[in-house]
Amino acid sequence: MTPTNPFTLEHELLRQSFRQFIEKEITPNIEHWESNKICDRTVFQKMGEHGFLGVGFPEAYGGSGMDMWSAVVITEELAYANVGGLSLSLYAHTYLALPAINALGTEEQKQQYLVPALKGEKIAALGITEPGAGSDVGGITTRAEDKGDHFIVNGSKMFITNGTLADVIILAVRTGEDHNLSLLLFDTKTPGFSAIAVHNKLGMHSSDTAQLFFENCVVPKSALLGKQGHGFYYIMSNFQEERLIACVTGTAGADLAVQKAKTYMKEREAFGQPIAKFQALRHKLAKMVVNVEACRSMAYRAVAEYIEKGPEAYRIISMAKVFVGEEAFNIINESLQIHGGWGYMEDYGIARLLRDFRLLNVGAGTTEVMLEIISKVELDEVSHKKQIKARI
């Protein structure tokens, strides 16, 4: 394991095994899922049976007990499969919802939800975004009224991945004023709950996206995840892993776009020769390769710091998300340009890649929000340095 190659033999064996699984269980079904605008529940079950959902989770709950780099392996290989929608559904289940249960859940909650979720028997979703509150978590209006031994939940959520498939939702609700939020393990069989699929999306077609409605839903106090009133801080912490996954996904997607461009340049002929002979395209490709390596460096550094510092690595994670989000989309766009008219068609998969990866600059915190986080950190550091210098 080196800084440029953090993967051990165990990681590479996992990669090889998962590639075989993708070839057998995912690739043959991609077009079907894309056209139907949703993936099958069975893919979660098959992922669980092979242990691919729980690579980074404790063995006591059905995981493999591997490190964060194992999650990177799974994430990269899904991106290389060019099935962004399914990937998003799997990420939402494994890396958005389940880490909260693992970190905050009681033993009873873990047995009830985490164990079957890692087996793929139950599907999980994270319910934060609302029609009027996305990156602004403090603007959440879905309310859980405390009734002593239970809560009454009213409100709605928007753009929730796995919204119609989910058996359980890690639901962010308001339990007080200002940043007084809490998390609930919400069972989707609860009376008063409903979900409507959202289909008119630019990309991620095979991902289940939904608007959720909660009308006088009775939720027992035993469904409270962690401490009441601490939800805002739990959400902010959970965002970091979500953003890391986005960085890794974006890097692998950009790399896939480069590989597609290389293949096309060698095969496609114009003016009596392969287009790989034209300097303009060769230099375009060279810049793409350089930028992919820059993306990988940023993403891997962010993962390494997250392993070392946890959520305190938010500065480099925010920086990586900005850089990778913008560069990955630019690289994919350049690859489409190299493909010419065929890139605009569905035949080569580059059009789907472009549609799906446009979400990188929007999901898990927009680029603008990331820049605001970075600017606040940098300005605070400058101010602190000035104070120290003044005292000297």
Instruction: Point out the residues that are catalytic.
Output: 242
Question: Do β-strands 124-127 and 150-161 pair in parallel, antiparallel, or remain unpaired?
Answer: unpaired
Q: Which residue has the tokens 């469904």?
A: 223
- As a whole number of Å, the CA-based R_g of the chain is 22
- DSSP secondary structure letter of residue 25: I
Distances (CA, A) of 239 to 236, 290, 392: 5, 28, 39
Question: Do β-strands 124-127 and 168-174 pair in parallel, antiparallel, or remain unpaired?
Answer: parallel
Q: Facing residues of 217 across strands? A: 153
Count of alpha carbons within 13 Å of 340, Cβ hemisphere only?
Answer: 7
CA 368 to CA 388: how far, in whole Å? 30
Q: Are the CB atoms for 109 and 45 separated by under 8 Å?
A: no
Where are the extended beta strands (E) located within 181-305?
181-187, 193-197, 209-220, 224-225, 269-270, 273-274
Backbone phi, then psi, for 237, in 5-degree steps?
A: -70, -40
3-state SS, residue 8: coil
The amino acid that residue 271 corresponds to is F
CA 325 to CA 76: how far, in whole Å? 15
189: left (phi over 0), alpha (psi -120 to 50) or beta: alpha
Structure tokens at 13: 């064996």
Backbone phi, then psi, for 106, in 5-degree steps?
A: -75, 170
> What is the DSSP annotation of 102-161?
HHH--HHHIIIIIHHHHTTSS-EEEE--BTTBSS-GGG---EEEE-SSEEEEEEEEEEEE
Q: Which residue has the tokens 């059905």?
A: 62
CA 133 to CA 140: how far, in whole Å? 6
